[in-house]
């Protein structure tokens, strides 16, 4: 049930998932190994753990998807070598958080959570994200024990309406999220082109 992903570069799962990029991963143990689980995309629940600095664990069949999602295919030393040598700020940033990766979040979820994050702290953004998922996302199980929810589609949030979204603690952000959902659902915004 569990597959191993050897890590060639420095990576820190906890710092990456808690860096304010995503807000829906939850603590969940598999075979007694503590880790995190969430719906990543397209109705699939994934589980990830990092029991050792150079080893990542995930569910069988998820290794490629998880590696891509976490940006593990980026060669960080090669990337860092392209940075200006005299940039003190970049140097400090790399030293401060060498194990954080840029997550390849699904584009709609990334856009929507960016809209809902305006003037909010991470705990509040997480609360909004989980509420939207639970009210409007599709429900999935992992190990028959725990429910996880997809991020709701643009079509679903467009149909919900601004008034309903306000009840998810979005405040003035409900209008912007609803307008974006309507634009994407109508095809006025092409997410594939936006991602490219």
Q: Does 190 lie in the same domain as 151?
A: yes
Q: Does 13 lie in the same domain as 85?
A: yes
Residue 36 lies in a domain: yes
Q: Which residues constitute the domain of residue 179?
A: 107-195
Q: Does 143 lie in the same domain as 91?
A: no
Residue 102 lies in a domain: no
Answer whether residue 84 shows pLDDT above 80: yes
Residue 151 lies in a domain: yes
Q: Does 75 lie in the same domain as 126?
A: no
Contact predicate 125/133, CB 8 Å? no
- Closest among 182, 195, 112 to 151, alpha carbons compared: 112
Query: Tens of pLDDT along 93-131?
Result: 888 988 899 999 999 999 999 999 988 898 999 999 999
pLDDT for residue 176: 97
Last residue of a domain, one of 96, 118, 150: 96
Chain-wide mean pLDDT for the chain? 92
Three-state SS string over the chain comes to CEEEEECCCCCCHHHHHCCCCCCCCEEEEECCEEEEEEEEECCEEEEEEEEECCEEEEECCCHHHHHHHCCCCCCHHHHHCCCCCCCHHHHHHHHHCCCCCCCCCCHHHHHHHHHHCCCCCHHHHHHHHHHHHHHHCCEEEECCCEEEECCCCHHHHHHHCHHHHHHHHHCCHHHHHHHHHHHHHHCCCCHHHHHC
CATH number, position 139: 1.10.340.30
CATH number, position 69: 3.30.310
Residue 101 lies in a domain: no
Last residue of a domain, one of 96, 118, 136: 96
Find the Cα–Cα–Cα–Cα dihedral 135, 141, 142, 146, rounded to 10°.
Answer: 60
Q: Does 111 lie in the same domain as 82?
A: no
Task: Say how many domains are in the chain.
Answer: 2
Query: Tens of pLDDT along 165-185?
Result: 999 999 999 999 999 999 999
What is the distance of C-alpha 75 from the center of its chain?
21
96 against 157, higher pLDDT? 157
Query: Tens of pLDDT along 22-33?
Result: 999 999 999 899
């Amino acid at each position: 049930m569990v597959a191993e992903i050897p890590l060639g570069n420095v990576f820190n799962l906890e710092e990456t998932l808690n860096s304010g990029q995503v807000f829906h991963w939850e603590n969940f143990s598999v075979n007694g190994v503590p880790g995190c689980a969430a719906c990543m995309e397209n109705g699939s629940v994934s589980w990830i753990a990092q029991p050792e600095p150079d080893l990542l664990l995930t569910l069988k069949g998820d290794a490629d998807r998880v590696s891509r999602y976490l940006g593990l295919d980026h060669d960080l030393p090669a990337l860092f070598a392209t940075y200006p040598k005299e940039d003190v700020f970049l140097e400090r940033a790399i030293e401060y958080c060498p194990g954080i990766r840029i997550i390849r979040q699904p584009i709609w979820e990334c856009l929507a959570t960016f809209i809902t994050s305006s003037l909010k702290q991470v705990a509040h953004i997480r609360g909004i994200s989980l509420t939207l998922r639970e009210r409007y996302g599709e429900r999935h199980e992992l190990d028959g024990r725990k429910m996880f929810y997809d991020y709701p589609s643009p079509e679903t949030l467009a149909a919900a309406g601004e008034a309903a979204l306000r009840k998810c603690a979005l405040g003035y952000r409900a209008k912007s999220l609803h307008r974006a959902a309507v634009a994407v659902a109508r095809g006025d915004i092409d997410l594939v082109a936006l991602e490219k």
